[in-house]
């Protein structure tokens, strides 16, 4: 479906954006626009992806007028730009609101008025029954995109959402931190030995977005069927002998995560994903269905994690 299309990705210089760029350049798209506010990262991507189909557009999703300019002639938008760090959002709440909520509203307006065909927004498990500001802003963002399908009128724009858990190895995630702890011989900070998280790799996340772009109708929240991991199993996979420092659950963190809440009544199941809908379907799952990281039947042991993650290809962080 990317054949001869113009695709724009917001936050295109982030971890997902780079993996997405690498994947879509293998298709016959007409143009790929990288929309982000970081000129240094854009210049680095120019060197990494010397492809004349790529255009680099400096801008911020908070800037409505800039989005209108960027969306001119665009067929597909993937919205990956967000403030994502839980502690940072807790400390800078208005900044998170301006980027994650106001930015989403700007994208809705620009996409409809510029005639974009499809918009896929990336969400997070933290938007389900949120307990931190990041999750709350992403919940608001999700509601804006779902509601936007009612505003298109005679326009052709469709909006859907992909919701998944922690991306292993992405910037700011625990794996690069633990790799640095291993390299420096430091103790591994662990919030709770019982903590669980959903697990997805960047290539899996990118492929899931591409697949759902193909079959989206508008208004769905797509949730991949992905495994869960325990934080201690992850630490053991990286370094079975390293010492652990238990630091306690930080403000805004959950012990376990939800990808589908029992309060979301209309859920359809497919082979490798779920679709959360706004209206009942004949084959909806029972109303009390939930998808939790601790009760997920797919669980990865430390041995599974060693096989699944190529730690040598993940850069550590300070």
Assign 318 a pLDDT band (cuts: 50, 70, 90): very low
- List pLDDT tens digits, range 134-163: 999 999 999 999 999 998 766 789 999 999
CA-to-CA separations, 249 to 86, 92, 175, 242, in angstroms, rounded = 12, 20, 17, 20
Residue 317 has pLDDT above 60, yes or no: no
Full-prediction pTM beyond 0.85? yes
> Which range, of 198-207, 241-250, 299-308, averages the lowest pLDDT?
299-308
How far is residue 82 from each of residues 141, 147, 199, 255, measured CA to CA in Å? Answer: 10, 19, 20, 23
Orientation of helix 174-184 relative to helix 231-238, angle to 10°: 40
Is the pLDDT reported for residue 12 higher than 90? yes
> What distance in Å separates the CA atoms of residue 241 and residue 131, rounded to the nearest whole number?
34
On whether the CB atoms of residues 53 and 31 are closer than 8 A, the answer is yes
- What are the C-alpha distances in Å from 77 to residues 35, 70, 71, 164, 290? 10, 11, 8, 18, 29
User: Model confidence over 244-282: pLDDT tens digits?
Assistant: 999 998 777 899 999 999 999 899 999 999 999 988 888
SS3 117: coil
Q: Which residues are catalytic?
A: 126
Domains, the chain, ranges and CATH?
6-165+200-224 (3.40.50.720)
Question: Bigger pLDDT: 200 or 74?
Answer: 74
Q: Closest Cα to residue 109, out of 57, 62, 55?
A: 62
């Amino acid at each position: 479906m990317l054949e001869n299309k113009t695709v724009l990705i917001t936050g295109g210089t982030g971890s997902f954006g780079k993996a997405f760029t690498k994947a879509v350049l293998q298709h016959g798209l007409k143009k790929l626009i990288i929309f982000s506010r970081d000129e240094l990262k854009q210049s680095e991507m120019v060197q990494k992806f010397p492809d004349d189909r790529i255009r680099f557009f400096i801008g911020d999703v908070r800037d409505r007028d800039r989005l209108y300019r960027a969306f001119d002639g665009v067929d597909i938008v993937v919205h990956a730009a967000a403030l994502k760090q839980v502690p940072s959002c807790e400390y800078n709440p208005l900044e998170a609101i301006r980027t994650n909520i106001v930015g989403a509203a700007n994208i809705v307006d620009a996409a409809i008025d510029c005639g974009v065909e499809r918009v896929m927004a990336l969400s997070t498990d933290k938007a389900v029954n949120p307990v931190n500001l990041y999750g709350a802003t992403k919940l608001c963002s999700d509601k804006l995109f779902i509601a936007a399908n009612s505003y298109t009128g005679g326009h052709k724009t469709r909006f859907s959402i992909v919701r998944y858990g922690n991306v292993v190895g992405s910037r700011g995630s625990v794996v690069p931190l633990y790799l640095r702890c291993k390299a420096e011989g430091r103790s591994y900070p662990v919030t709770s030995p019982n903590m669980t998280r959903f697990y997805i790799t960047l290539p899996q996340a990118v492929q899931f977005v591409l697949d759902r772009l193909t079959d989206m109708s508008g208004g769905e929240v797509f949730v991949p069927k992905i495994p869960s991991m325990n934080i201690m199993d992850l630490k053991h996979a990286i370094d079975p002998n390293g010492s652990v420092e238990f630091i306690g659950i930080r403000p805004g963190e959950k012990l376990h995560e939800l990808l589908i809440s029992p309060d979301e009544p209309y859920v359809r199941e497919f082979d490798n994903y779920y679709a959360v809908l706004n209206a009942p379907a004949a084959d909806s799952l029972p109303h009390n269905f939930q998808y939790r990281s601790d009760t997920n039947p797919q669980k990865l042991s430390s041995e599974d994690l060693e096989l699944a993650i190529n730690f040598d290809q993940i850069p550590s962080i300070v």
